[in-house]
Chain A
Amino acid sequence: QLQLQESGPGLVKPSETLSLTCSVSGVSISSISYYWGWVRQPPGKGLEWIGSIHYSGTTYYNPSLKSRVSISLDTSKNHFSLKVNSITAADTAVYYCARESLEMATVWYFDLWGRGTLVTVSS
């Protein structure tokens, strides 16, 4: 069954590093047809793209977060991960992982989403 599932701590202290993992089932993250991305949504607000990674190792990050974010993938476990350092309260959000496709389009789109995980930044 095609599925993405986020996992990680629900509470992180300010100034620490947030680490999340997205476990993928039903499709290989080694496929050259997809990127794998992270999107977040602060409570009551809209969606914000964080970054994306391809099997080849190519990564793209939101310029506003680039200095604090890294995304990696582990093909042996078929999962990819997000790290955000120097966390502040402004990073409190639901974090979604998603698959990106380019089929019949010229801009990558998010065609499959995880259910999301709420991360709260608080001491």
Chain B
Amino acid sequence: QSVLTQPPSVSGAPGQRVTISCTGSSSNIGAGFDVHWYQQVPGTAPKLLIYGNNNRPSGVPDRFSGSKSGTSASLAITGLQAEDEADYYCHSYDSSLSGSKVFGGGTKLTVL
């Protein structure tokens, strides 16, 4: 069971907007620790999508955005495209586990 909770799956039609939540607690996101997001196409390595809550690495389209509030963070994808179908993971730090980097359980995005 992950310290960071994500919905197992979300879906949307091409062109739509979807959001993926990442819910933590007062020992991780709620303590002010940054949240990062990764995209993983099946069979490939994860790829950094958002870092420092809302920063996009070079090459990541601005259709992807991140936000954080309280004990939760969200990844938003606008103008959904077929190529966005992948697994998405949030990542942060938890101070209650002797200092541990933690991932969410992952969310499978299906483009209908």
Contact B52 A106 (CB under 8 A): yes
Asked if B61 CB lies within 8 Å of chain A CBs, one says: no
CB neighbours of B103 from chain A (8 A) = 46-49
Q: Do A96 and B101 touch across chains, with their CB atoms under 8 A apart?
A: no
Name the residue on B nearest A114 (C-beta). Answer: B45
Chain A residues near B106: list those with CB within 8 A. Answer: 46-47
The 25 listed contacts between A and B (C-beta, < 8 Å) are A39-B46, A46-B89, A46-B103, A46-B104, A47-B38, A47-B46, A47-B106, A48-B103, A49-B101, A60-B101, A62-B101, A63-B100, A96-B45, A104-B52, A105-B36, A105-B52, A106-B33, A107-B33, A107-B93, A109-B36, A109-B52, A110-B48, A111-B48, A113-B45, A113-B46
B positions within 8 Å CB-CB of A = 2, 32-36, 38, 44-48, 51-53, 55, 57, 89, 91-93, 97-106
